[in-house]
Structure 1
Amino acid sequence: MEAVLELTKDNIQDVVDASMKQVVVLAFWSQQSPESVALSQTLTGMAHKQAGRFVLAKVDCDKEMEIANYFQIQNVPTTLVLSEGKPVDGFAGLQEEVQIAAMLDKHLPAQWQIQLNEAKNLLALQDAAPALALLKQAYAESPNAEVTLVFADACLMLDDFDSAAELLASIGLADQDSYYQSLKAKLALALDAADSPEIRELQKAVESEPENIAQLLLLAKALHQAKRNEEALAILFTPLSKDISVENGEVKQLFLEILTALGQGNTLANQYRRKLYSLLY
């Protein structure tokens, strides 16, 4: 249903039915009342800004007197909050946006819940990239276990194993349910698949010759290709912390390339970017 609509006798039943699943705000107004016109504009702006949290159904009392009479509206502007087919709250007269928001927040789902639900729908369609963007916003607002698990799921779909591992490690024992266990299993399988014979051979070579920077670069590249970026950055940072221009700057160059590939919003990239800045300045 649209975020804002005009309530009429033709669609009132659809709107009442919609209130069984989503809060509907009924705004009774009249062109004859400047206050009600102003409030209608405020509510319209809020509905568009908070799209998905509630539906605004505007009732033009000059045209829809029957609806106004049904809801026993005495004066305009009057605003009612409709939930499960019944008015549960409301106010008469003009109010500021802050006051209206405080009243609505008592009845509306939090923004992070809406973002989480949208992300779940996208993940069900295997559309992980836009889901990840929503989950980052939801996680910033409320990093609870429910959001964290879905966030980790999206990271796994996008082969970001480091972020998925970090998110799963933050889940407390009480929240380690069947969903958590399935994600842990997916991560373990993904990491096993990324542990190729080539990487194991390079790891042995680096362990036996830790000062061989050429071998270390090969290992870092292989780890990066296998999406094991945290390991790649860690082994590159060790020689960088001793000499920022080691191997004619090749180590620093690869380090920066991996950070760029991870992107500006990546937590791991930001962490190692700060470490690099501490060496430079």
Structure 2
Amino acid sequence: MQAPQVIQVNQQNFHEVIQSSATTPILFYFWAPMSQESEELLPHIQQLAQKYAGAVQLAMLNCQEEQTIAGQFGIQALPTIAMFVNGQPVDGLAGPQPLDAIEAMLTRHLPSQDERDAKQALQFVQDNQHAQALGLLQALSEEWQQRGDIKLAMADCFLESGQFEQAATLLSAIPLEYQDNYYTGLCAKLELHQNAANSPELQALEDSYAHNPQDAELANKLATSYHEVARDEEALQLLWSFLQKDLNALEGDLKKTFMDILSALGQGNPLASRYRRLLYSRLY
């Protein structure tokens, strides 16, 4: 992991750097080559800034070269660390400090890991990067996952990945104050799926199979239709009822449909993993 970009503060950019703390907090590090302690601490400061990447900007001032600015700050000990937010100093530490004291200062003024991850996830959703967003959302603490905006974002991700049951569960538990246009749109998307999943055509195919439960070709068509509307568990269960007796049923077409569905679900899908184990147990 690369160290974050460091702003080298001087007379030309000093005021600009201070003003930039209105959008991103600035961690000011006052040091000098003549101070061994300040040089030794610098790599650790950079590591801390990397840990809070995106939430804080690291700025360094060489007090030996920029004595005027150092004097304006009244720097009397090296290293000195100062936190700037909205153009104002809000906290600081003077002299050599243990890392946990510096991190405690950052924690007081910067968003938590959950808050940063949630913000990143919500941006991913806006950018239609739902897979990346879902990973971050599912890693949030239980407290954060109970928030209405997080539930909506997770429901959105589940809909995009075809996990409709999980989406329905979340949408049924959205607090009233979050039932806005975004919520209405997600509900409409879920309803479209539910209507397709129980279409007259699919029901007719189910009726035909119910009257001909030994018809492998009909079972293959029904399983394919189930998969098309994300009813994958029913599709795999139906196919497996034939494959567990004969892996070459319908001249191998059932097995091909079975494997195609597993492939579409992906390696990390729990349902796919369960049926892969069943298939391997039958093969070996």
Q: Tell me the TM-score range normalised by the shorter chain.
A: 0.7 to 0.9
Q: How far apart, CA to CA, are the structure 2 residues paired with 1:138 and 1:9?
A: 43
Answer whether contact 2:114 2:140 (CA < 8 A) is retained.
yes
1:1-281 equivalences under 5 Å are: 3-124=5-126, 127-129=127-129, 131-142=130-141, 143-145=145-147, 146-156=149-159, 158=160, 160-162=161-163, 164-170=164-170, 172-174=173-175, 177-178=179-180, 179-193=182-196, 198-226=201-229, 228=230, 231-237=231-237, 240=240, 244-248=244-248, 251=254, 253-265=256-268, 269-274=269-274, 276-277=276-277
Change (3 A) 1:170 1:28: same
* Uncovered stretches (5+) of structure 1, i.e. residues with no partner: none
Q: How far apart, CA to CA, are the structure 2 residues paired with 1:256 and 1:100?
A: 54
Give the residue type in structure 1 aligned to 2:223.
Answer: A
Change (3 A) 1:170 1:52: same
Q: C-alpha displacement at 1:253, in angstroms?
A: 4.9
**Per-residue CA shift, 1:162-209, capped at 9, x if unaligned?**
2x5404413535365223333112221244356555433322223333
Tell me how large the CA RMSD over aligned residues is.
3.0
SS at match of 1:75: coil
Q: How far apart, CA to CA, are the structure 1 residues paired with 2:168 and 2:99?
A: 39
Change (3 A) 1:216 1:75: same
Give the residue type in structure 1 aligned to 2:84.
Answer: L
Q: C-alpha displacement at 1:273, in angstroms?
A: 1.4
**Per-residue CA shift, 1:135-163, capped at 9, x if unaligned?**
4123312334322321322443x4x232x
Change (3 A) 1:65 1:245: farther
**Per-residue CA shift, 1:241-273, capped at 9, x if unaligned?**
7863545265555334323222234xxx22441
Change (3 A) 1:23 1:155: same
Q: C-alpha displacement at 1:79, in angstroms?
A: 0.9
Answer whether contact 2:79 2:94 (CA < 8 A) is retained.
yes
SS at match of 2:65: coil
Q: How far apart, CA to CA, are the structure 1 residues paired with 2:14 and 2:151?
A: 39
Q: How far apart, CA to CA, are the structure 2 residues paired with 1:174 and 1:24?
A: 37
Greater Rg over alpha carbons, structure? 2
